[in-house]
Amino acid sequence: MVKKMKMIKTLFIKYKELITYVIFGVLTTLVNFFAFGIFTKIFGEDLYLVNNAIAWVVGVVFAYITNKLFVFESKSWDLKVITKEITGFLGARIFSFLVEEGGMFLFVSVLGLGEKSLTLLGFTITGQFIVKILLAVIVVILNYIFSKFFIFRIKNEK
């Protein structure tokens, strides 16, 4: 049992950044989905791109804070460092946002998947949410690559 615990601890230390990214990535995705659901209830399904944009803003704020503090452990609060991080973070997130918005438009409006739905365990999931879930996988991967190799790399260069 002690051997297994040591092995688990060693693996966690080795992959801590990736593990915390996945955890906070899932949380960010949940924050985004929750916000999307709320704004869809408020503004209606016809404004799905607007609802997605507002949910994106909420998710990006949450993601920046959690990525900075817990995932990539960028502890500097120097204005120059923060400005560089936020600029890079927003640039990367805007790119992945455009991928998501373009995908939402393509699959929902052009290909008509917004009219489809799926009932799972008594819950109806709209075509918009299904598309959003699928695109979230692509967005999470893109965001990790940008964050790890371009935005929060300062910690890794020390």
> pLDDT tens-digit profile of 18-62?
899 889 988 998 999 999 999 999 999 899 999 999 999 999 999
Instruction: For residues 146 and 61, give the distance between their C-alpha atoms in angstroms, rounded to a whole number.
Output: 16
Cβ contacts of residue 127 below 8 Å, gap of 6+? 107, 108, 113, 114, 115, 116, 117
pLDDT score of 156 more than 60 = no
Q: How distant, in Å, are the alpha carbons of 35, 57, 108, 111, 131 from that of 105?
A: 19, 18, 5, 9, 10
pLDDT band at 158 (very low <50, low <70, confident <90, very high): very low
Confidence of residue 154 (pLDDT cuts 50, 70, 90): low
**pLDDT tens across 99-141, in order?**
999 999 999 999 998 888 888 889 888 888 899 899 988 988 8
Q: Binning pLDDT at 50, 70 and 90, where does residue 2 land?
A: confident
Which pLDDT score is estimated for 12? Answer: 85
Q: Output the pTM of the full model.
A: 0.75
pLDDT, tens digit, 9 for 90 and up, residues 67-104: 899 988 888 889 998 998 899 899 999 999 999 999 99
Q: Is the pLDDT of residue 157 over 80?
A: no
- pLDDT given at position 38: 97
Which pLDDT score, from 0 to 100, does residue 36 have? 94
